[in-house]
Chain A
């Protein structure tokens, strides 16, 4: 990933503030280099790079008691806020769609994804979690 000149300048100023004006040029260079490197090595998707903190969780499978409770317990335990929920049952099949705000959750998207995936396996149903943006861009102009 490229680091802009502007960013390097900001990092340098930050270092100067921290160490004061008496810092030796060698030390300054070393410190700035270290921080630019660590800045570069953070390519992973951060929560705030997305437009909203909402995800859409869709699950379906053979209906059985406790499906809704299991999923909502996982969400509640991890401080995820269910904003909307729709459920339909067609013969023995159920479909459930939840709109969930995960911006306050301590878990990353991936951690939540993995947690739900293991719950899905346990209950032998399908759970999908997708960021809201994809629905917004496909269905809203």
Chain B
């Protein structure tokens, strides 16, 4: 069928004006065959395997980018959570593993590599404890390595001991990377119900049920949705949902096409398309702007959660039809530092931590890239993480916390990261403590919802 003039112009406009790009093409690599008694042998095996499989990853992605005229913002790597194959290692040895991952990522030209993590929703193995102990130093000593730890799931409940430990490690990471605005914390996520095929860092890893290697794609495109809503003018909410669905369909189809081509050329399996709307700090590429274009005075006003729910659900419905394999996080992201509209709302005092928490009930990821005062006590961070986990566990969805207790910073300060990480205004946290609750420790049992059989 011939193409209409308007159809071609629409695609050109999306890519050239509205910031439509493929946010990430992530190559997942299994490391379970790299186990050994000797850490030096392990590191050699890891380095060899990553550089062998990912050797052409960036080059192929660049060629595909040029061929379709759609930019691929990030080319990344995810590996098996390293606590699983290397459970015999000690803290210092895990740091060596992180340094090896960093070197391998640098050698193949990717900016981030995910998978320095553990799944401890029910309890810790010895190796997992050692790995978690290694996280702050590992993140401080490397540039590209990202870490994620899953501390809760609908099936297992909430591991409060893990939350307490992670809260301590978050603070420690902030301290060790203080001179760079505590940037280590931007590479560390605490998850509930973590997906195994998420292509987005910092939470990306190659799950244990995945194939030897696979390509997962994350789309972007808040700018495209924003423009479609603005162009639509005054229409009712049902029609608004329809507009978003159609736009999501188109961008997901492009994502799927690109993912399949990269996978084909790399000779690995194509995994999933993650249909998340991922904002960037670029003006107009913002989820907050979409919510405001829907009619809110500012993101954070009453009605924000409803507007976000409509957006998130419509994106899913459009995306589902467009791709045979949808997975990963697949929901709108609401990071603060990476979204110009969110930053504005926080600076004006329109958006609070509590409202963000409510918003996480209806979209993916949770409290993301939020800077809080450096002197926030560990127990308070544990309380924040526990709340997010509760939302995830009870609603059978993924939630996460990527929070930055910016060392030495106070409410109102800005922490600058540059690039896709943007800049984060330090947000106030309520001066109340959940200490006696969280320090009881133990595990909150799995909810009724877990008994589905």
Contact = CB atoms under 8 A, between A and B. Distances in A.
Contacts of A129: 69
A106 to B, nearest CB: 18
B12 interface: yes
Contact of B253 (A1, A2, A137): A137
B64 A133 contact: no
B209 interface: no
Interface string B40-75: 000000000000000010011001101111100000
B250 A139 contact: yes
Pick the most buried of B1, B7, B66: most chain A CB atoms within 10 A of its CB: B66
Binding site secondary structure of chain B = helix
B7 A45 contact: no
Contacts of B264: 49
Contacts of A109: 66-67
Interface string B248-271: 001101101100010011111000
A99 B67 CA distance: 15
Contacts, number: 82
Contact of A43 (B9, B70, B254, B265): B265
Interface string A119-136: 000000000111101110
B347 interface: no
B70 A137 contact: no
B70 A45 contact: no
Interface in A4-60: 43-45, 49-50, 56, 58
A2 B267 contact: yes
Given A129-B69, A138-B250, A45 B3 contact: no
Interface in A72-106: 84, 86, 88, 95, 97, 99
A2 B1 contact: no
Given A88-B5, A129-B69, A134 B265 contact: no
Contact of B267 (A1, A44, A84, A130): A1
B11 interface: yes
Contacts of B70: 130, 134
A130 B67 contact: yes
B2 interface: yes
B7 A135 contact: yes
Nearest to B60: A43
Contacts of B432: none
A58 B66 contact: no
Contacts of B253: 137-138
Contact of A135 (B11, B64, B261, B268): B11
A45 B67 contact: yes
B255 to A, nearest CB: 9
Interface string A55-69: 010100000000000
Contacts of B257: 133-134, 137
B8 interface: yes
B106 to A, nearest CB: 20
Contact of B3 (A88, A99, A113, A131): A99
A84 B437 CA distance: 70
Contact of A138 (B11, B64, B67, B265): B11
A49 B261 CA distance: 9
A88 B5 CA distance: 10
A140 B56 contact: no
B63 A131 contact: no
A85 to B, nearest CB: 11
B66 A113 contact: yes
B1 A130 contact: no
A45 B12 CA distance: 23
21 contacts: A1-B265, A1-B266, A43-B60, A43-B266, A44-B63, A45-B60, A45-B64, A45-B67, A58-B8, A58-B9, A58-B12, A84-B2, A95-B9, A97-B9, A128-B16, A129-B69, A130-B70, A134-B70, A138-B7, A138-B251, A139-B4
Given A45-B60, A97-B5, A138-B251, 17 more contacts: A1-B56, A2-B267, A49-B261, A49-B265, A56-B8, A58-B12, A84-B2, A99-B3, A109-B66, A128-B16, A128-B69, A130-B68, A130-B70, A131-B69, A134-B68, A137-B256, A137-B257
6 residue pairs, one from A and one from B, having the closest CB atoms: A130-B69, A43-B56, A1-B267, A134-B68, A137-B253, A137-B257
